[in-house]
Chain A
């Protein structure tokens, strides 16, 4: 038999790029995976080591091969092989029992995380949850554990995901990557950044570690972890005190001119409308009725002392001169000064923020302050500018996926729908509610292709939460740490063994079954359907996969017009009906905030003392935490080029590049502890310990250590780095400003997990 070609998407798509792949099959076996061309857009082609290695996932000897039933304690690793019938019957019987006793909402379903790239597979999991009437946190599906940056964007700019297309960086004079390492974690984005750099943009990278992206920068700003808010304040201090801010922009597009009352810190309103001080009339006026509002000064209005919000911002930043900012951040004052002046003079200048900026308590202030820095220099809503999140979308129109018709698959007519646990507005609160069984008990959990026990949080938290559960089912391709704590484990197919549809930016990709499912693995769509039959819900699962795909594509939105399943099957990769031109966020400088403007002054956050930008230390700050006496080192767990979340840790080709978990420690900290290269060390705190070898590495700053994220527990001599981290149900890790509106009303913007807010000590053993 000759060679057959199939199209698909990268299975390791935790980077959200979903690169299109060509899968070559000979004699029923995948022998090659390579990058595929996007029609009419050669620049979009991309692949990285994860995609290139993906056939190794399919043929890995450790794949789950048949259904398993736990016969020891949870986590003990004792299993018995069972048939699909026995597995599904057992699950169905238990679900019926739990439904009778506690109601259908006692089941929580998690159908696929960001890496389960098949949209039909994921949607059918949601369909099951909605048909059953399952309960849980948020919707039946995703819990966002990384919503810190969208939360900042939502608060200041009125919308969570505002991507500002990375291709627009070609117009930037300066690019600041803040807490982001795209050279290892978002490779197509890095290409666009290199293109912009080659065209003359200055590349500045801000972050504590000297990573691959820092190595490519024109200037790297090493910063003490968790102090980005102070750096932005120091830069604003220089820009504002030396008059380099964009006066017109601040007056027109921000709440800068709005008068703030001295007595209660609220905006001064007349008949509900915010007032400004009209400089020409020398009198107060509604903000929309003047072109000459004062930005600075102090005014008396009807006996109330008021100042424009921008005056208050000026007073606030005056407390953070470069020397003060330097004392907090460790960045020299002169560097802060020069960076600020250069940023202000380099319009248009782009800031791109990523999760590195948002993984400590209070880090939301850093994200917010970076956005404010961009706003006062007039850089938001212009070509080559922005202070954006790493996802795509212009912040105004819906992104392409949102216009497709997966809702009809997820929410079939007549189904009861899921019942969300009230108040579970973030990951931590969601898990805590299950732990406490309040306000209703959750007794069963079905997790499809997610691995929370390995991705984040101390194992003890999950142990306690899982002790409430009478049934845990995990559908996956490997025995993950989460699967180890399940009662029944079901073997899923890899994405090369089933048909589905995926989205890669503005492109739809036909995911084509290239080989027959190996072992006894079954596509998740079939698993959900067969389970539903056993629960008497078969009438909701009469569609074929083809039917689902047709429904999915049958969107009335103009972006999807003319995209049929027939066309997708023929062309494999189809672009949405959108022009190729790169989009920028807020092109009309209209912001969906209550005022319609950039809200750097927050009436909603007065009670937290966060109405204006401020720096607050993180929870486990080496400077302010009592823990620092015993545990002086900050632990980071950064992402490396050979992992996607917790995937690919067992892929041999990638382990040739990064063979084993190592503790990166600076020579200063190593010498003080008598640690030499390759010594076995114990990393520990009050919560837990992990044993591994040390690597003296100047890429990490003194006072900070790093273990790459993604390693599995069995790859450590003892323990796991997550067990140094907070529990996922620890409510002290919820950022207060993100536990209130508008954040709690938004699906994506949430209080994030804070895995980098963690103090440890290291000793040689």
Chain B
């Protein structure tokens, strides 16, 4: 199998703490916003449950760039070479080449690319490729103390992420879009 780095989110262990969103700001120097978000299952405000008191439910779903194997952002980008896939499957935006046209932002079905008005560029999760290159996990993975974010090579059937996928019946978001996302979820 081809090497493909991936994040597997265990929603059973996610407590909605937002460590990942703040860790992303710390690591990537993001004054405003974050490349990873924590969605609330009700789809409304943060931590708002679904239902009527006391019949309530709530879980959280972190969401970030899916590092798709067939990324629509790459397809939408008019400047060749701006968005590219590394041999390890990480999808990156080359800031220097980005013209800030925002076409990638509207092409992404997951809504995880954000526009940086100061630099006039599109930005998104790089899977902390600079850390990965040093043998370190992405920073959100390091600071998810609860073990809700797993990082590894989903192409390797023996990796922790692949094992989790098969034992917990992991699923991708919106697979019907044909994007072939690399991130997966384990049900709450």
Which residues of A pack against B, CB within 8 Å? 31-35, 45-49, 52-53, 183-184, 187-188, 190-191, 194, 198, 210-216, 220, 222, 641-642, 653-654, 656-658, 666-667, 695, 697-702
Comparing B19-27, B64-72, B88-96, the segment that makes contact with chain A is B19-27
> How far does the alpha carbon of A641 sit from the alpha carbon of B47 in the complex, in Å?
11
Q: Is there an interface contact between B146 and A190, defined as CB atoms closer than 8 Å?
A: yes
Mask: chain B, 22-55; 1 = CB below 8 Å from A; 0 = not: 1101110100111000000000011111011110
Indicate whether B124 reaches chain A with its CB closer than 8 angstroms.
no
A216 touches B15 (CB 8 A): yes
Q: Which residue of B lies closest to A668 (CB)?
A: B53
Q: Is the CB of A49 within 8 A of B17?
A: yes
- In the complex, 10 of the A-B residue pairs with CB atoms within 8 angstroms, ordered by the A residue number, are A35-B143, A48-B19, A184-B17, A198-B12, A212-B15, A215-B16, A215-B49, A698-B49, A699-B47, A701-B53
Is the Cβ of B33 less than 8 Å from the Cβ of A656? Answer: yes
CB of B145 within 8 A of CB of A46, answer yes
- Knowing A35-B145, A191-B145, say if A697 contacts B48 (CB, 8 Å): yes
- The answer to whether A658 touches B46 (Cβ under 8 A) is yes
- B32 closest partner in A (C-beta): A656
A657 touches B53 (CB 8 A): no
B59 interfacial by beta-carbon distance below 8 Å: yes
Contact B47 A52 (CB under 8 A): no
Q: Is B56 in the interface zone, CB < 8 Å from A? A: yes
Complex CA distance for A191 and B49, rounded to whole angstroms: 22
Partner pick for B45 among A213, A222, A641, A695, CB 8 A cutoff: A695
**Complex formed: what's the CA distance from A695 to B42 in Å?**
15
Q: Is the CB of A49 within 8 A of B53?
A: no
Q: Which of A52, A220, A667, A700 has the most CB of B within 10 A?
A: A52
> Quick one: given A47-B145, A191-B145, are A210 and B58 in contact (CB under 8 Å)?
yes
CA distance in complex: A543, B33 (Å)? 47
- Check if B26 sits within 8 Å of A33, measured CB to CB: yes
The reply to whether A52 and B53 form a contact with Cβ atoms under 8 Å apart is no
- A211–B26 Cα distance when bound, in Å, is 27
Q: A183-B17, A701-B54 are in contact. Are A210 and B49 (CB under 8 A)?
A: yes
User: Do A210 and B53 touch across chains, with their CB atoms under 8 A apart?
Assistant: yes
- C-alpha spacing A194/B11, complex, angstroms: 12
Complex Cα gap A222–B7 (Å): 35
Contact B143 A698 (CB under 8 A): no
User: B21 contacts which chain A residues (CB < 8 A)?
Assistant: 49, 656-657
Q: Bound complex: CA of A48 vs CA of B18, how far in Å?
A: 8
Residues A699 and B18 in contact, CB atoms below 8 Å apart: no
- Enumerate chain A residues within 8 angstroms of B46, measured Cβ to Cβ: 657-658
Q: CA–CA, A32 to B28, complex, Å? A: 10
Among residues of B, the one whose C-beta sits closest to the C-beta of A222 is B54
**Min C-beta distance of A321 to chain B, whole Å:** 22
The complex places the Cα of A338 from the Cα of B147 at a distance, in Å, of 32
The closest CB in chain A to the CB of B52 belongs to A698
Judging by beta carbons under 8 Å apart, are A183 and B54 in contact?
A: no
Query: Smallest Cβ distance from B155 to chain A, in angstroms?
Result: 27
Chain A residues positioned under 8 Å from B145 (CB to CB): 35, 45-48, 187-188, 191
Given A32-B26, A657-B21, verify A220-B143 contact (CB < 8 Å). no
* Nearest-neighbor residue (CB-CB) of A697 within chain B: B48
Residue among B17, B25, B49, B143 making CB contact with A699, cutoff 8 Å: B49
The CA-CA distance from A191 to B13 in the complex, in Å, is 9
How far is A49 from B25 in the complex, measured between Cα atoms in Å? 11
CB distance from B40 to the nearest CB of A (A): 10
A657-B26 in contact (CB<8A): no
A429 to B11, CA, bound (A): 48
**Identity of the chain B residue whose Cβ is nearest the Cβ of A33 in the assembled complex:** B26
Interface string of B76-114 (1 = CB under 8 A from A): 000000000000000000000000000000000000000
Q: Are A194 and B146 in contact (CB under 8 A)?
A: yes
Q: In the complex the two chains form, what is the Cα distance from A106 to B13 in whole Å?
A: 53
Closest to A52 in B: B22
Assess the B18–A34 pair: CB atoms within 8 A: no
Interface core residue of B22, B29, B59 (most chain A CB under 10 Å): B22
The answer to whether the Cβ of B166 comes within 8 Å of any Cβ in the partner chain is no
**B170 CB to closest chain A CB, in angstroms?**
16
- State the CA gap A599–B17 with chains docked (Å): 40
- Inside 8 A of B53's CB, which chain A residues have their CB? 210, 222, 666, 698-702
A654 and chain B: residue at smallest CB distance: B22
Q: What separation, in Å, do the CA atoms of A184 and B52 have in the docked complex?
A: 22
- Nearest residue (CB) in A for B30 is A653
In contact, A52 and B32 (Cβ under 8 angstroms)? no
A52 to B143, CA, bound (A): 9
- Contact of B57 with A by CB under 8 A: yes
Q: How far is the CA of A210 from the CA of B47 in the complex (A)?
A: 9
For the A-B complex with A48-B19, A656-B21 known, give 18 more contacts whose Cβ atoms are closer than 8 Å: A33-B26, A34-B23, A34-B139, A46-B145, A49-B22, A187-B17, A191-B145, A210-B54, A212-B58, A214-B56, A216-B15, A222-B54, A642-B18, A653-B22, A654-B22, A656-B34, A699-B53, A700-B53
Asked if B59 contacts A47 (CB within 8 A), the reply is no
B68 CB → nearest A CB, Å: 27
